A = this chain, B = another copy of it.
Amino acid sequence: MPLRKHQITKPDGRYLIYYSFEGREPPEPSVAAAEAPLEPKSGHMELRWHPLLEEWVIVATHRQERTFLPPAEYCPLCPTHDPSFPTEVPASDYEFVVFENRFPSLRRDAPEPASPAPPYAATAAQGVCEVILYSPDHDSTLGAMPLPVVRRLVDVWVDRYRELAARPEIAYVFIFENRGREIGVTLTHPHGQIYAFPYIPPRVERELAVAARFRAERGRCVYCTVLERERAEKTRLVAENESFTAFVPYFARLPYEVHLVSRRHRSSLVELSARERGGLADVLKTVLLKYDSLWGFPMPFTMVMHQQPTDGREHPDCHFHIEFAPPYRSRDKLKYLAGCETGAGSFINDTLPEEKAEELRWAEPRT
């Protein structure tokens, strides 16, 4: 599916890219790229080394000032309609738009921090934080969009992955969506995010090490093995087509956790064929509709993609998958991560994965 990109530079130096499909023209570039004044370089920004856990912690103090749940008429992610209230998107209409986060955790031109005394260490918070707007419609959700639109979003993700992966300083392209006030979303306009990290994040590093051990011991991919098992047992399946399978895993840490796994061993979005991309869009939309149908309101969640690092090394054990982690344990109760989960790292699931999968299998949108 041919896509067209039209890139502009905002007055503060951030890029903004309009994506258009099927011969549709990109938005009029004549609309002024206006926006509220900002000081993106204020505050303190660096990576600090955590010597007790061997991981980087991102310090980004300007993020304290980020816009917090504005009323809909002041949404900074809506298209600019009123020149006296310029938003992030100067065009009045578009298909998808990607731009650098105004309150980034990682930045292309991150300053070099002062060196602390050992055992401490700091380095520049170099990277890219992007926002992807799925729609100019403030009240839409990804699941409600027509399948061809979701399919095009997959192409946008592929393009973003490819472009960010090409940057030499980027070791990992992390595509995700935080949805719902219950997990702290500060802007409700339908959007996803991308963090292009200068390091492989700890959770992913752990997955890679585990997958390598599994292959060394059993001679095959752990994701392929789990997928085979879930498909054989069927009790935890949620949705499937010939390219992707969605299930609540046997070992789910959270009640409504769903994994969406490529049927074939593909390491990243880029490796998916056109047919597989279509399959991904299809299962993704199905899962989203099931979530939103379950209780009659949009299910809050984090949706994260795990794929091939872009650090230049080979990672043959990578198996592209998406994980959904909704914060509810029942319709009216949240599952909190408290002492046991955060302080010991041990998860307690108050529900049976087989039962939650069945609930989701039955959940269908009312037509």
Contacts and interface: CB of A to CB of B under 8 A. Distances in A.
Interface of A: 44, 48-61, 63-64, 68, 105, 116-120, 172, 174, 176-178, 183-185, 193, 195, 197, 201-207, 210-211, 213-214, 218, 222-223, 225-226, 229, 232-233, 250-253, 302-304, 306, 323, 325, 329-330, 333-340, 342-353
Which applies to chain A's interface (DSSP): helix, strand, loop or mixed?
Answer: mixed
Given A120-B229, A333-B68, A338-B183, A304 B253 contact: no
Contacts of A52: 207, 210-211, 222-223, 226, 251
A330 to B, nearest CB: 7
B61 A352 contact: yes
Contacts of A203: 342-346
B105 A339 contact: no
A210 B176 CA distance: 29
- A201, A213, A336 pick with most chain B CB within 10 angstroms: A336
Nearest to A193: B339
B339 A176 contact: yes
Contacts of A336: 183-184
| Identical copies of this chain, number | 2
A93 B346 CA distance: 35
B210 A48 contact: no
A251 B48 contact: yes
Contact of A184 (B117, B193, B252, B334): B334
Contacts of A56: 346
Contacts of A226: 51-52, 119
A121 to B, nearest CB: 9
A346 B251 CA distance: 22
A225 B117 CA distance: 11
B116 A346 contact: no
A60 B350 contact: yes
Nearest to A324: B343
A61 B60 CA distance: 39
Contacts of A337: 337, 342
A59 B327 CA distance: 16
10 contacts: A63-B348, A64-B351, A118-B229, A119-B214, A172-B344, A174-B340, A183-B336, A302-B342, A304-B339, A306-B343
A229 B155 CA distance: 49
Nearest to A220: B119
A178 B193 CA distance: 31
Given A58-B346, A340-B176, A350-B60, A214 B51 contact: yes
A177 B329 contact: no
A68 to B, nearest CB: 7
A319 to B, nearest CB: 10
B304 A48 contact: no
A309 to B, nearest CB: 12
Contact of A55 (B193, B223, B346, B351): B346
Contacts of A323: 343
Nearest to A103: B350
Given A64-B351, A201-B344, 10 more contacts: A49-B251, A58-B346, A116-B250, A176-B340, A178-B338, A178-B339, A193-B339, A205-B345, A304-B343, A325-B343
Contact of A325 (B213, B342, B345, B353): B342
B346 A202 contact: yes
